[in-house]
Amino acid sequence: MNQKYTYLLSCCLLLAGVAFAGNPDRQGEAGANQLLINPWARSAGLHSLNTSYVSGAEAMYLNVAGLSRIKKTQINLSHARYIADINMNALAFGQRIGSGGGAFGISLVSMDLGEFLSTTENIPGGTGATFSPSYFNMGLSYSHLFANKVSVGVTFKFVNESISNVGARAMALDAGVQYVTGENDNFKFGISLRNVGSKMRFVGEGLSKPAANPGPTFEYPITYYERSAAYELPSQLNIGFSRDFLFGKTSRLSVLGNFTSNAFSRDQVGGGLEFALGQNFALRGAYKTELGVAVGSTEATLDNGISAGFSASVPFKKGSDSRLTLEYSYRSTRIFQGIHGIGLRLDL
């Protein structure tokens, strides 16, 4: 059995090495960066550093291997108040399949950027009409747990960016593994590879332009279609570990660390703490920094600094595994007064 675990971990590391053997000069060339924004309040409170032990339906964002660690059925709803009045909404559903350790999940994430004034070359001040960009991602996931020690998972993701007459779409793949060891299963290790997929390119009627075509004898109208440049998805590798310190029968303090390798931006490293009082309450905080850039620099990405959050959970009845959990997170930002997230989790 140990040979099987070693083989699974080796395959994941090999896959990660192949995927990130590219040229670092390509940094800054990717699009669809909404795929790197965590909409889930629980893991956002740890700055998405809990690759090693994230579990449940929200694991489909960070490390899908954690999906199989749900008990039966889980439904997650989350809302994040991003910068400049941008809103993110997410829904996830996870379901254990039989008694063999497998779990299936589906996740839906959308971003609301608000309304924009429609302008043209002839009417730069605005036509009076408005439009709303649509950012939408859907993922189908499967995860399997082996003897409560190793879990693996994969997500197939559909990515969409569009307005009424122009759109770009892509298919992407996420994969992950988690390994649990120690006398009380208190040491955890995780690897996840995210957003590996096809290129995106904007197409549609919005890229057409009517113009006069000069002919040999007379001119006639013709429509020209402009071709947009293709761009990559923001691929990412996460490697994380954690250690649980147990107090009594129900309380724990988890110390965690994580390294993030971004294919199209600087790498990030961070650490955090999470204290859980049984299943009823949890308090968490973390700090993440970007390598190769000064703290507070305008060259750094927004997703750095301090984060914090909490969870409060109540059972439907005493002794029941069915619970309703309220979650909140805050991520500091250099501008725009931080990112707030709130979520509800239903365990059945």
pLDDT, residue 9, reads 52
More confident residue, 249 or 193: 193
What's CA 294's distance to the chain center, in Å? 25
Strand 281-290 relative to strand 236-247: parallel, antiparallel, unpaired? unpaired
Q: What is the mean pLDDT of the chain?
A: 87
For residue 145, pLDDT beyond 70:
yes
Confidence tier at 20 by pLDDT (50, 70, 90): very low
For residue 93, the surrounding DSSP H or E stretch is strand 87-97
pLDDT of 164 reads 85
Residue 123 has pLDDT above 80, yes or no: yes
CB 16 within 8 A of CB 191: yes
**Pairwise CA distance, residues 255 & 265, whole Å:** 26
What is the helix, strand, coil percentage profile of the chain, to 5?
Answer: 15, 50, 35
* Three-class DSSP category at 339: strand
Q: Which pLDDT band holds residue 31 (cuts at 50, 70, 90)? A: confident
pLDDT tens digits, residue range 309-322?
A: 999 999 988 777 88
- For the stretch 279-305, pLDDT in tens is 899 999 999 998 887 766 666 777 788
Q: Average pLDDT in the 163-172 region?
A: 92
How far from the centroid of its chain's Cα atoms is residue 335's Cα? 22
Q: What is the per-residue pLDDT for 6?
A: 52
Those residues with Cβ within 8 angstroms of residue 49's Cβ, 6 or more apart along the chain or in another chain: 240, 256, 257, 258, 270, 271, 272, 286, 288
* Both tokens assigned to 120: 């043209």
Res. 127 pLDDT band, cuts 50 70 90: confident
Residues contacting 322, CB < 8 A, separation 6+: 315, 316, 347, 348
**Confidence class for position 278, pLDDT limits 50, 70, 90:** confident
In which element (H, E) is residue 59 found?
Answer: helix 59-62
User: Could you tell me the domains of the chain?
Assistant: 2-347 (2.40.160.40)
Residue with tokens 């929200």: 58
Residue 18 pLDDT greater than 50, yes or no: no
| Residue whose pair of structure tokens reads 């971990």 in the numeric block | 9
CB atoms within 10 A of CB 122: 6
At 131-144, the pLDDT tens digits run 889 899 999 999 99
**pLDDT of res. 3:** 53
User: What are the tens digits of pLDDT across the range 96-110?
Assistant: 998 788 999 999 999
Q: Which of 43, 40, 67 lies closest to 55 in space, CA to CA?
A: 67
Mean pLDDT of 227-244: 92
Band of pLDDT at residue 19, cut at 50, 70 and 90 = very low
Distance between start and end Cα atoms, the chain: 32
Task: Compute the average pLDDT of residues 101-130.
Answer: 89
Segment 167-185 shows an average pLDDT of 93
**What are the two backbone dihedrals, phi and then psi, of residue 4, each rounded to the nearest 5 degrees?**
-65, -45
pLDDT band at 190 (very low <50, low <70, confident <90, very high): very high
Look at residue 21 in the predicted model and tell me its pLDDT. 41
CA–CA separation, 52 and 262 (whole Å): 18
Q: Would the pLDDT of 17 be above 90? A: no
SS3 68: helix
Query: Is it the case that residue 12 has pLDDT exceeding 80?
Result: no
Residue, of 14 and 147, whose pLDDT is higher: 147
pLDDT digit string, tens, across residues 46-65: 999 999 999 999 999 999 99
